Chain A
Amino acid sequence: MILGIDVGSTHTDGALIRDREILATAKSPTEKDNLFSSLKVVTERLITPETSGQIERIVLSTTVSTNAVVEGKLARTGVILINGPGLAPEHFNFGKDTYFLRGYVNHRGRELAPVDPEQIREISDRLAREGIKYAACAGKFSTRNPIQEKTVREKISGLRQVSLSHELTGRLNFPRRAATAYLNAAVFETYNDFLLQVLDFFKRERISVPFHILKADGGTFRLESSGSFPIQTILSGPAASIMGILASLREKTDSIGLDIGGTTTDIAFFARGAPLLMPAGVAIGGYKTGIRGLRTRSIGIGGDSRVARQEGRLKIGPRRDGPAAALGGPSPTPTDALVALDLVRLGRRDLASEALAPLAGQMGLSIPEVALAILKQMAGDIAGEIAREIAEIDNQPVYTIHEYLEGERLTPKNICVVGGPAAPLAPLIGQHLGLPFLVPPQAEVANAVGAALARTTTELTLLADTESGTLTLAEEGYTTAIPSRFSLNDARRLITEKLKEKALSLGADSAGLDIEITEEQVYPVVRNYYRSGENIRLKAQIKPGLAG
Chain B
Amino acid sequence: MEKKIKKTGLIFFPAFDWAISPTHPEREERLLYTQDQIFEEGLFDLDNIREYKPRIAGSEDIDRTHICVPDAGSVSGNSHLIAAGGALTAAEKVLEKEVDNAFALVRPPGHHAMLVVHGARGFCNINNEAIMIDYIRKRYGIRKIAVIDTDCHHGDGTQDIYWHDPNTLCISIHQDGRTLYPGSGFPEEMGGPNALGATINIPLPPHTADEGLLFVVERIVLPILADFQPELIVNSAGQDNHYSDPITNMNISAQGYAKMVDRLGAHLAVLEGGYSIEGALPYVNVGIILAMAGLDYSQVREPDYPPSAIRQSDEITRYLEKESERIMRLWENRFSLREWPAAGKPFHKRRKSIYYDTDGIRETQEETVRICEDCGGAVTIDSSADTGSRIFAVILPGFSCGACRGHAYEAYEAASPGKYRQVFLQDKDRDILYKKSSK
CB distance from A524 to the nearest CB of B (A): 7
Task: Kindly state the separation between the CA atoms of A524 and B30 in the bound complex, as whole angstroms.
Answer: 11
Residue of A nearest to B304 (CB): A112
- Encoded as 1 (CB less than 8 Å from any A CB) or 0, chain B from 4 to 45 comes to 000000001111111000110001110011011101111111
Q: Is A402 engaged at the interface, CB distance under 8 Å to the other chain?
A: yes
Q: B39 and A86: CB pair below 8 A?
A: no
Q: B52 to chain A: which residues have CB within 8 Å?
A: 397
Q: Which of A87, A396, A397 contacts B41 (CB 8 A)?
A: A87
Residue of B nearest to A280 (CB): B45
Q: Is A140 engaged at the interface, CB distance under 8 Å to the other chain?
A: yes
Residue of A nearest to B82 (CB): A404
Q: Is A285 engaged at the interface, CB distance under 8 Å to the other chain?
A: no
CB distance from B44 to the nearest CB of A (A): 8
Q: Is A84 engaged at the interface, CB distance under 8 Å to the other chain?
A: yes
Q: A397 and B78: CB pair below 8 A?
A: no
Q: Which of B152-160, B290-298, B384-392, B430-438 contacts A (4 or more CB under 8 A)?
A: B290-298
Q: A395 and B53: CB pair below 8 A?
A: yes
Q: A523 and B29: CB pair below 8 A?
A: yes
CB distance from A265 to the nearest CB of B (A): 25
Q: B76 to chain A: which residues have CB within 8 Å?
A: none
Q: A87 and B23: CB pair below 8 A?
A: no
Q: With A90-B296, A112-B303, A288-B45 given, is the CB distance from A401 to B29 under 8 Å?
A: no
Q: B14 and A87: CB pair below 8 A?
A: no
Q: B56 to chain A: which residues have CB within 8 Å?
A: 404
Task: For chain A, residues 134 to 188, give those with C-beta under 8 angstroms from any C-beta of chain B.
Answer: 140-141, 171-176
Task: Kindly state the separation between the CA atoms of A398 and B27 in the bound complex, as whole angstroms.
Answer: 18
Q: A175 to chain B: which residues have CB within 8 Å?
A: 41-42, 45
Q: With A400-B17, A404-B82 given, is the CB distance from A524 to B36 under 8 Å?
A: no
Task: Kindly state the separation between the CA atoms of A85 and B207 in the bound complex, as whole angstroms.
Answer: 25
Q: With A87-B290, A531-B23 given, is the CB distance from A176 to B42 under 8 Å?
A: yes
Q: Is A297 engaged at the interface, CB distance under 8 Å to the other chain?
A: no
Q: B23 and A86: CB pair below 8 A?
A: no
Q: With A112-B304, A173-B39, A280-B45 given, is the CB distance from A88 to B14 under 8 Å?
A: no
Task: For chain B, residues 277 to 333, give those with C-beta under 8 angstroms from any C-beta of chain A.
Answer: 278, 282-283, 286, 290, 295-296, 298-304
Q: Is A248 engaged at the interface, CB distance under 8 Å to the other chain?
A: no
Q: B23 and A526: CB pair below 8 A?
A: yes
Task: Kindly state the separation between the CA atoms of A402 and B77 in the bound complex, as whole angstroms.
Answer: 13
Q: Is A345 engaged at the interface, CB distance under 8 Å to the other chain?
A: no
Task: Kindly state the separation between the CA atoms of A108 and B303 in the bound complex, as whole angstroms.
Answer: 12
Task: Kindly state the separation between the CA atoms of A288 and B44 in the bound complex, as whole angstroms.
Answer: 12
Q: A399 to chain B: which residues have CB within 8 Å?
A: 12-16, 35
Q: With A280-B45, A526-B27 given, is the CB distance from A397 to B278 under 8 Å?
A: no
CB distance from B214 to the nearest CB of A (A): 20
CB distance from B282 to the nearest CB of A (A): 6
Number of B residues whose C-beta is below 8 Å from A?
48
CB distance from B274 to the nearest CB of A (A): 15
Residue of B nearest to A525 (CB): B29
Task: Kindly state the separation between the CA atoms of A405 and B304 in the bound complex, as whole angstroms.
Answer: 39
Q: B295 to chain A: which residues have CB within 8 Å?
A: 87-88
Task: For chain B, residues 38 to 71, give those with C-beta under 8 angstroms from any C-beta of chain A.
Answer: 39-46, 51-54, 56
Task: Kindly state the separation between the CA atoms of A88 and B52 in the bound complex, as whole angstroms.
Answer: 24
Q: A107 and B40: CB pair below 8 A?
A: yes
Q: Is A89 engaged at the interface, CB distance under 8 Å to the other chain?
A: yes
Q: A172 to chain B: which residues have CB within 8 Å?
A: 36, 39-40
Task: Kindly state the separation between the CA atoms of A401 and B56 in the bound complex, as whole angstroms.
Answer: 11
Residue of A nearest to B13 (CB): A399
Task: Kindly state the separation between the CA atoms of A174 and B278 in the bound complex, as whole angstroms.
Answer: 19
Q: A88 and B22: CB pair below 8 A?
A: no
Task: Kindly state the separation between the CA atoms of A261 and B212 in the bound complex, as whole angstroms.
Answer: 63
Q: B283 to chain A: which residues have CB within 8 Å?
A: 85
Q: Is A269 engaged at the interface, CB distance under 8 Å to the other chain?
A: no
CB distance from B414 to the nearest CB of A (A): 43
CB distance from A111 to the nearest CB of B (A): 10
CB distance from A110 to the nearest CB of B (A): 9
CB distance from A404 to the nearest CB of B (A): 6
Residue of B nearest to A143 (CB): B40
Task: For chain A, residues 254 to 292, give those with C-beta under 8 angstroms from any C-beta of chain B.
Answer: 280, 288
Q: Which of A280, A400, A528, A531 contacts B22 (CB 8 A)?
A: A531
CB distance from B73 to the nearest CB of A (A): 15
CB distance from A102 to the nearest CB of B (A): 12
Q: Is A106 engaged at the interface, CB distance under 8 Å to the other chain?
A: yes
Q: Is B368 engaged at the interface, CB distance under 8 Å to the other chain?
A: no
Q: A84 and B51: CB pair below 8 A?
A: no
Q: Is B400 engaged at the interface, CB distance under 8 Å to the other chain?
A: no
Q: A140 and B15: CB pair below 8 A?
A: no
Residue of B nearest to A141 (CB): B40
CB distance from B32 to the nearest CB of A (A): 6
Task: Kindly state the separation between the CA atoms of A366 and B162 in the bound complex, as whole angstroms.
Answer: 68
Residue of A nearest to B16 (CB): A400
Q: Is A310 engaged at the interface, CB distance under 8 Å to the other chain?
A: no
Q: A397 and B12: CB pair below 8 A?
A: yes
Q: Is A468 engaged at the interface, CB distance under 8 Å to the other chain?
A: no
Q: Which of A85, A171, A396 contacts B303 (CB 8 A)?
A: A85
Would you give 5 A-B contacts (Cβ < 8 Å), ordered by A?
A108-B278, A175-B42, A280-B44, A401-B82, A526-B27
Known contacts A86-B37, A524-B28; 19 additional CB pairs below 8 A are A85-B283, A86-B300, A87-B295, A88-B296, A107-B40, A107-B278, A173-B45, A175-B42, A176-B45, A396-B53, A397-B12, A399-B14, A399-B35, A400-B15, A404-B56, A404-B78, A523-B16, A526-B27, A531-B22
